């Protein structure tokens, strides 16, 4: 099962980053305190500064520190949630999933299964694959009622060359319904930016929000 998690070195780097941020905040607080004491010591005794100004400055410092602490806590919680999401989705590696997509990867041998959801009935429903060179391959589904419409594309029979294709569904009602493609969840990982990335056969890398259904592991995957 290919599940990429944060390793110890990454965790150490994260702790080091938090420590550096904490030290910077502490240094800023110390500098502010020293400046405030110097301001009090060097004020004009004949025209002393209004004490409320010092209170206001201290309040602003406290608010700034509170916001910094909240930001650090939010960042830490986000990292924990992402790691938990990777672990949770990692248990589904090897499962067949349905994912909403606008592109599909074809090897020229394997049939592609999927579905579309129509908001209205259509007397002429067609799945269209468009290659990088503009070549189009059409799979006619005929008249379909509103609702979920499953389809299968025989890539070998249609002699569709291997490659990545844009996928869309054309209807007589001119709507642009979403398209879900079935594929196997191959891996789950955290990206360099911190997001969770899934690799699904027939589709490629997608975000978890693209998954519309988990269909379980096939017999061959379990064996």
Vertex 220, ends 216 and 222: CA angle to 5°? 60
Residue 79 is encoded by which pair of tokens? 């990292």
- What does the mean pLDDT of the chain come to? 80
pLDDT in tens, 10-32: 444 444 444 444 565 566 667 66
In the predicted model, residues of the chain with pLDDT beneath 50 are: 1-21, 222-223
pLDDT in tens, 71-102: 776 766 666 666 676 667 778 888 999 999 99
Burial of 139 (0-12, 13-18, 19+ CB in 10 A): middle
Distance CA 7, CA 10 (A): 5
pLDDT at 190: 81
* In the chain, domain spans: 2-90, 95-215
Fold of 95-215: Immunoglobulin-like (2.60.40)
């Amino acid at each position: 099962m290919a599940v990429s998690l944060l390793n110890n070195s990454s965790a150490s780097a994260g702790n080091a980053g938090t420590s550096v941020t904490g030290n910077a905040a502490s240094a800023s607080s110390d500098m502010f305190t020293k400046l405030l004491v110097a301001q009090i010591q060097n004020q004009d005794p004949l025209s002393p500064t209004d004490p409320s100004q010092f209170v206001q400055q201290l309040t602003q410092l406290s608010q700034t520190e509170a916001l910094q602490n909240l930001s650090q806590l939010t960042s830490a919680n986000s990292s924990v949630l992402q790691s938990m999401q990777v672990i949770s989705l990692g248990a589904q590696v090897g499962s067949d999933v349905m994912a909403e997509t606008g592109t599909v990867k074809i090897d020229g041998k394997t049939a592609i299964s999927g579905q579309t959801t129509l908001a209205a009935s259509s007397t002429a429903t067609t799945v269209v694959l468009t290659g990088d060179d503009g070549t189009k391959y059409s799979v006619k589904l005929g008249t379909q009622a509103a609702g979920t419409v499953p389809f299968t594309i025989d890539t070998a029979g249609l002699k569709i060359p291997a490659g990545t294709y844009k996928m869309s569904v054309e209807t007589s009602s001119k709507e642009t319904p979403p398209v879900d493609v079935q594929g196997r969840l191959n891996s789950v990982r955290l990206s360099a930016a911190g997001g969770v990335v899934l690799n699904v056969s027939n589709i490629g890398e997608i975000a978890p929000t693209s998954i519309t259904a988990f269909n379980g592991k096939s017999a061959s995957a379990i064996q």
